[in-house]
Structure 1
Amino acid sequence: MEKRFSTRKKQDLHRLKRVGLIVDADAAEVEKLQSKLLSVFSLSKNQLSSLIFKENKEQEKEQEIYFSEKDFTWRGRLKKESKLNEFLAQDFDLLINYFSEDKLVLHWVSASAEAKLKVGLANEEKRLNDIEIVVKEEEIELFMSELKKYVNIITDSWKNL
């Protein structure tokens, strides 16, 4: 993770074409979060990729990838057959880290994902996000309104240059 933090390139965010969502299913209402995200940013379902951490994987739905600690080898490397590789191969304009509990596997995945802007809930690991929004996980509406505000400020500032 240290190497990933130190080699991350800062990029300009002009508009949202591709959004990634990493969420801990044990702590958040995943469907409500996805629905709100799609409506707030006027995204189509194919513009959103969700990565859902679940202790015990369930059947996957379209546009969602479930993962658990079983996707990693005993040495901490990602297994080749893991669907997590599909998520990590994408370049996101915005990556949302919707988890506050410190789980190493969530930190690793977030640090490994490529995104122009990373936003998330307040977390012990301060290097995960470019912007932290300090709300409780159940305050999805408040999180989305703050997220929209900051993304608009950032994208509007680039339009004016």
Structure 2
Amino acid sequence: MILKGLKEKSIKKNLNLILKTRVVDSSNNKIETLGILLNADETNDFETLKTIAETLNVRPNKLKIIAFTTSKKEVTYSWNVCFNQKDFNWKGKINNVELQSFLDTKFDILISYYSEDVLELKYLTAASNAKFKVGIFQNDKRINDLIIKTDFKNIKAFKTELLKYVTVLNKIKK
């Protein structure tokens, strides 16, 4: 129990440090690479999420999807990788090479597709090296550059709104 409390406190501290020192990339780069971070406890509709890449004209080999679950047991899904709380050490640092590789990837856009307030998911979003971060409505507005308030289960509405905003921001590659 004590280690769990230390882990949570460390993750919160690291999250706040990242958010304080974050520099927003205001360049007008076109979207070529896409990362999607989702909560496996909320959704497992992988195929529908893949259509977001098609909507943004991102090739399938430039798309990487990872999922996070609060479940302690090993869960396997049909997508790339699924992580859980065991992938964080007691200091709040990531101890999984694949997860760290995802965070180090400089995606043109990262979509945080989760609605539950899970500390680890917020940390992963903030720690990502993505140039532009988009998410569903969340309590902490510092985490994403663009927040699209839609119903979580209505991915079609999310895609429509996302396309509208990235077109206005001139980030779509034709």
TM value normalised by structure 1: 0.87
Structural mapping, 1:1-161, within 5 Å: 1-11=15-25, 12-54=27-69, 55=71, 56-59=73-76, 61=78, 64-79=80-95, 81-155=96-170
Taking only aligned residues, the RMSD between alpha carbons, in angstroms, comes to: 1.9
Query: Which piece of structure 1 moves more, 4-13 or 53-62?
Result: 53-62
2:35 and 2:111 in contact (8 A); partners too = yes
2:109 and 2:133 in contact (8 A); partners too = yes
CA deviation vs aligned residue, 1:17-38 (integer Å, no higher than 9, x gap) = 1111110011124313332212
2:31 and 2:171 in contact (8 A); partners too = no
| Structure 2: stretches of 5+ with no match in the other structure | 1-14
TM value normalised by structure 2: 0.81
| Structure 1: stretches of 5+ with no match in the other structure | none
1:40 and 1:144 in contact (8 A); partners too = yes
Identity level (%): 29
**How many residues align structurally?**
155
Higher strand fraction (1 or 2): 1
Q: State how far apart, in whole Å, the 2-side matches of 1:123 and 1:108 are.
A: 13
Question: After the TM superposition, which parts of structure 1 deviate over 4 Å for at least 4 consecutive aligned residues?
Answer: none
